[in-house]
Amino acid sequence: MLIAPPIGIAVLLLLPFLSGEGEKSWRRRPIAVLTVLLLAVMLGTFTRLASYTPWSPEMNAWSGLPLPERYLKDRSPLERRGALVFQDKQCRNCHALDGKGGLRGPALDTVATRLTQDQLIRQVLQGRGEAQLGGLSRGLCTNHLTIEPTAEATRL
């Protein structure tokens, strides 16, 4: 019963190609052909966007993905604490490390090479206001910490 409508639509779409004479010929109806092609492309595009949503956080990205070892090896206690905060506050739901994690926020692999020390501190303290989704609100990250610029605090 559910297969009948798609078969009927397919037959109607193929009819001009199967009996291509006279008024039914697809050559005599270029606007109809372009309309069908446009609809097919639109449906394909919308289907792709529905299955791939970079604007939506990946809410289970943090649970099973440990931080890459290169971000923990030979690091100071302060840097390891930052990695723990990154994992606990579920930053990976929106940000990616080594290509794994969310796509909503920028990848944080090379953030220390793109931003200056002052810009990094400002981003951690203020953000853009969008980081509250994963639990890291503006006041939460500084309630019990004093953030001061040090050489090891901004090194990645």
CA angle 25, 27, 31 (to 5 degrees): 105
26: alpha, beta or left? (left if phi > 0; alpha if psi -120 to 50): alpha
Same domain flag for 44 and 114: no
**Phi, psi dihedrals of residue 64, rounded to the nearest 5°:** -110, 0
- Residue 94 and residue 107: Cα distance in Å, rounded? 9
What pLDDT digit, counting tens, does each position of 84-133 carry? 888 877 788 788 888 888 788 888 888 878 888 888 878 777 766 555 54
Do residues 87 and 103 touch, judged by C-beta distance below 8 A?
Answer: no
Same domain flag for 78 and 21: no
Look at the chain and report how many structural domains it folds into. 2
pTM, entire model: 0.50
Specify the pairing of strand 96-97 against strand 100-101: antiparallel
Neighbours of 154 (CB within 10 A): 19
Question: How confident is the model over 64-82, as a mean pLDDT?
Answer: 82
Residue at 138 is within a domain: yes
Burial label, 2 (beta-carbon count in 10 A; 0-12, 13-18, 19+): exposed
* Structural domain for 10, as ranges: 4-51
Same domain flag for 72 and 106: yes
Q: What pLDDT does 43 receive?
A: 92
Residue at 151 is within a domain: no
Residue at 149 is within a domain: no
Same domain flag for 131 and 104: yes
Same domain flag for 34 and 104: no
Same domain flag for 68 and 35: no
